[in-house]
Amino acid sequence: MISYLGRRIIQSILILLGISLITFALLYLLPADPVRQIAGRSATPATVESIRRQLGLDQPFLVQYGRYLWSLLQGDLGRSYIQRSEVSQLIVARLPATLLLMLGAIVFELLIGLTMGIVAAVRRGTRTDQSLMVVSFIGVSAPQFVVGLLLLYVFAVKLGWFPIGGYGTFSHLVLPALTVAVMSSGWYARMMRSSMIDVLRQDYIRTARAKGLARATVLLRHALPNAILPIIAMIGIDIGILMGGIVVVESVFGWPGIGQLVWQAIQRVDIPIIMGVTLVSALAIVLGNLLADIIAPLIDPRIKLR
């Protein structure tokens, strides 16, 4: 177990290094010039050059990347070009909001997706099954800003059940988390359905019924743990997809998380912030996958971590 964790952590570090290199290269190749953004339109060429030199942006790519990596190893994510403060402080201030949104989204998507999937599998071939699958299909294909606006219009504007935007209480969380969750719950519903149908066909389900167990016991104690295994691996990957949705949803709902931070940074070519948020998100994805792999053997004793 310890050697497994050690190997996985080394792998994770290599992955993060790779991501930092690729992101850095992409930003370097970007036609937009961060110095112009900082200096403003009226700046003279001399001012522009001096800012460029100050930020080290006149150096060749490898030198720039080397410098970034060196400070990164010392735990320094650099300073924002525009906001004049440490990137790490900006991220730390906004991370809790994003993590909360993400957690809320995962809870919602599992609740909705898994329930839909199980019900559809148990009633497969019926009207219920068909309508649930249509709903899940709509969920998967609807663009997130549309879902967000729709939910806002119905539940905040018309019904007034939830606030329109902002941050602070549980009721603030519901609509944004639901918006992020809609797409993935569609995926989960479909995956859970096929996984469950597959499990319900297995011999051990027949054995469980032959013992005289009640239908619900067979379903929850015997089928569910087996059916949920592929879903757990999916949750790890899902965190990456969630990050994409969060950027959009935080803007729609005015949620003060790192999604908004990076959205503003992209518009102003604030490279240190983009790099910082990308690395933090990548770390979240890597940790999510690691967590999923550690949870799997707790459910399935056949899986051994080596």
Partner 1 sequence: MSTGEINRAAGASAPAAAGKPVLDVSGLTISVRGEDGARDVVRDLSFTLARGETLCIAGESGSGKSMTSLAIMGLLPQPAAYVSAGSILFGDLDLARLEEGRMRRIRGNRVAMIFQEPMTSLNPVLSIGRQLVEAIETHTALSRSQAREKAIEALRAVRISEAETRMKQFPHELSGGMRQRVMIAMALALDPDILIADEPTTALDVTVQGEVLELLRDLQRSRGTSIILITHDMGVVAEMADRVIVMRDGAMIENGRTEKIFKAPATEYTTALLAAVPRIGGGSGRQESRPPGSAEPVASVSDLQVRFDLRGGLLGRVQRRVHAVEGVSFSIRPNETLALVGESGCGKSTTAKALAGLIPYAGDIRVGGRDLAGLGKDERKAVRREVQMVFQDPFASLDPRMRVGDLVAEPLIIHKIATRRECRDRVAALFERVGLPADGMERYPHEFSGGQRQRICIARALALRPRLVIADESVSALDVSVQARVLELLRELQQDLGVAYLFISHDMAVVENISDRVAVMYLGQIVETGTRDQVFSNPAHPYTQRLIDAVPIPDPARRRARFSRMDGEIPSPTRAVGDEPQRVVLRDIGGGHLVAA
Backbone angles phi, psi at 11, to 5 degrees: -60, -45
Nearest to 273 by CA among 16, 44, 35, 88: 88
Of 84 and 304, nearer to partner 1 (C-beta) is 304
Are the C-beta atoms of residues 139 and 183 closer than 8 Å to each other?
A: yes
Among 69, 208, 266, 290, binds partner 1 (CB under 8 A): 208
Distance between CA atoms of residues 110 and 131, nearest Å: 19
Q: Does 209 bind partner 1 (CB under 8 A)?
A: yes
Residue 286 Cβ, how far from partner 1 at the closest point, in Å?
Answer: 18
Q: How many helices (H) and strands (E) does the chain have?
A: 14, 0
Distance between CA atoms of residues 301 and 25, nearest Å: 43
Of 168 and 297, nearer to partner 1 (C-beta) is 297
Among 211, 237, 267, 287, binds partner 1 (CB under 8 A): 211
Q: Does 293 bind partner 1 (CB under 8 A)?
A: no
Q: Does 213 bind partner 1 (CB under 8 A)?
A: yes
Q: Does 203 bind partner 1 (CB under 8 A)?
A: yes
Q: Does 202 bind partner 1 (CB under 8 A)?
A: yes
Number of shown-chain residues binding partner 1 (CB under 8 A): 25
Of 50 and 128, nearer to partner 1 (C-beta) is 128
Q: Does 170 bind partner 1 (CB under 8 A)?
A: no
Q: Does 306 bind partner 1 (CB under 8 A)?
A: yes
Q: Does 225 bind partner 1 (CB under 8 A)?
A: yes
Residue 210 Cβ, how far from partner 1 at the closest point, in Å?
Answer: 5
Nearest to 268 by CA among 44, 113, 40: 40
Give the end-to-end CA distance of the chain in Å, rounded to a whole number.
Answer: 7
28 SS3 class: helix
Residue 196 Cβ, how far from partner 1 at the closest point, in Å?
Answer: 14
Q: Does 46 bind partner 1 (CB under 8 A)?
A: no
Are the C-beta atoms of residues 77 and 91 closer than 8 Å to each other?
A: yes
Residue 235 Cβ, how far from partner 1 at the closest point, in Å?
Answer: 18
Q: Does 41 bind partner 1 (CB under 8 A)?
A: no
Residues 6+ apart with CB under 8 A from 265: 80, 82, 273, 274, 277
Residues 6+ apart with CB under 8 A from 257: 94, 95, 97, 98, 101, 246, 250
Distance between CA atoms of residues 186 and 225, nearest Å: 20
The CA-atom distances, in angstroms, between 58 and each of 40, 54, 64, 263 are: 18, 9, 9, 26
Helix (H) / strand (E) element for 291: namely: helix 271-299
Among 61, 153, 161, 204, binds partner 1 (CB under 8 A): 204
Q: Does 198 bind partner 1 (CB under 8 A)?
A: no
Using CB under 8 A as the binding rule, the residues of this chain from 244 to 283 that contact partner 1 are: none
Q: Does 196 bind partner 1 (CB under 8 A)?
A: no
Q: Which listed range, 20-28, 77-85, 206-214, 284-292, lies at the site for partner 1 (CB under 8 A)? A: 206-214
Residues that bind partner 1 (CB under 8 A): 3, 6-7, 202-204, 206-214, 217, 221-222, 225-226, 299-302, 306
